């Protein structure tokens, strides 16, 4: 994998995506995923990876696998946890 510098003509007009949760901590960290709920960039430290059941036929992956991965940021993860508590009570 080649790393391109900002001066590289192949990178013109492109922007790096950074972690939204890190930005609230005044740090800049490249995002490795996008939150499934709000679309913010998320780094590996702030990513919450959850299994979500697959509806319908399974795609090109493992035929026995019935879960897919879902990534959320810290804010959405906390909001979803609160929604589950609120709905249960």
pLDDT value of residue 67: 72
pLDDT value of residue 18: 94
25 contacts 43 by C-beta, under 8 angstroms? no
- Using CA atoms of 73, 76, 78, 83 in order, give the dihedral in degrees to the nearest 10: -160
70's enclosing H/E stretch is strand 67-72
Q: Indicate whether this model's pTM tops 0.85.
A: no
- pLDDT tens-place values along the chain, 89 residues long: 445 455 565 566 667 899 999 999 999 999 999 999 999 999 999 999 987 776 666 555 566 666 778 899 999 999 988 776 555 55
CA dist 43 and 62 (Å) reads: 27
Instruction: Kindly report the three-state secondary structure assignment for every residue of 32-57.
Output: CEECCCCCCEECCCCCEEEEEECCCC
Q: Quickly count helices (H) and strands (E) in the chain.
A: 2, 4
- Using CA atoms of 69, 76, 47, 16 in order, give the dihedral in degrees to the nearest 10: 110
């Amino acid at each position: 994998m080649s790393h391109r510098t900002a001066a590289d003509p192949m990178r013109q007009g492109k922007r790096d995506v950074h972690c939204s949760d890190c930005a609230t901590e005044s740090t800049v960290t490249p995002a490795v995923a996008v939150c499934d709920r709000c679309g913010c960039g998320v780094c590996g430290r702030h990513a919450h990876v959850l299994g979500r059941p697959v509806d319908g036929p399974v795609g090109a992956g493992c035929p026995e696998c019935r879960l897919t991965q879902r990534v959320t940021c810290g804010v959405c993860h906390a909001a979803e946890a609160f929604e589950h508590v609120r709905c249960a009570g």
